[in-house]
Structures are given as C-alpha cells and as structure tokens.
Amino acid sequence: MKGTYLGEFEEIILLAVAILSGDAYGASVTNEIEQQMGRAVNLGAVHAALHRLEEKGFITSQMGGATNERGGRRKRIFSVTALGIRALETIRQLRNQMWDNIPKPAGV
C-alpha cells in the first residue's frame, strides 16, 4: 500500500465515491463533483485519482455488468473501504479543529 497522504483532489474524489454509494464509476464521480462543486474536472484525472486511492487502500473496485449504452462494455464500480471512511473522518475532524481555532475578530 502506498502512502496515505490525501491531496485536495483525492479527498474530493473519495467524498464523491462515498456519496455515490455503490454507483461510483469514472463518469458518475466526474458528474457528482461538477454538480456539488460547480467545478469542471477531467475524466482522465478522475480515473488517475481513483487508481491512486485504490492503491492506497481507501477504495476498492469491481467490474459491473455490461450495458447497451456502453456498447456492451462493463463499468468499474468503486466503493469506499473502512480505511477510506476513517481517513475522511480524520480529515473532517482536523479541518473542524482548525476552523474552531480561528480567532474571532474584535467586536464580533
């Protein structure tokens, strides 16, 4: 397993996979990020990040069934692992802690 550091983009990809819960594949992750964040993302970059997250043990994948809309090709479906959930929880806790430590401006 590679290092467990998560960059911002990997964190966003991991969150999208968690949101999609069982229906996460390259195009659906891309669409979820674009809808949630109003941020355009490159499908190739999403696939590369999914691969890195799988190498780190934060997600797993399996091949889904073939569909007519994909010309009979199968989709690789991604799911968050327990390690991935723990990583998201840790990131959220750290971010909240940092937000809580921002000094309040005088007079507020």
Give me the residue spans of the domains in the chain.
8-100
CB 49 within 8 A of CB 61: no
Classify domain 8-100 by CATH number: 1.10.10.10
Q: Tokens at residue 99, please?
A: 């937000």
- Amino acid, res. 11: E
Q: How far is residue 84 from each of residues 2, 57, 89, 107, measured CA to CA in Å?
A: 13, 7, 9, 41
**Interatomic CA distance for residues 20 and 80, integer angstroms:** 10
pLDDT tens readout for residues 13-41: 999 999 999 899 999 999 999 999 998 99
Rg of the chain over Cα atoms, rounded to whole angstroms, equals 16
Under the banding of pLDDT at 50, 70 and 90, the label for residue 3 is low
pTM: 0.85
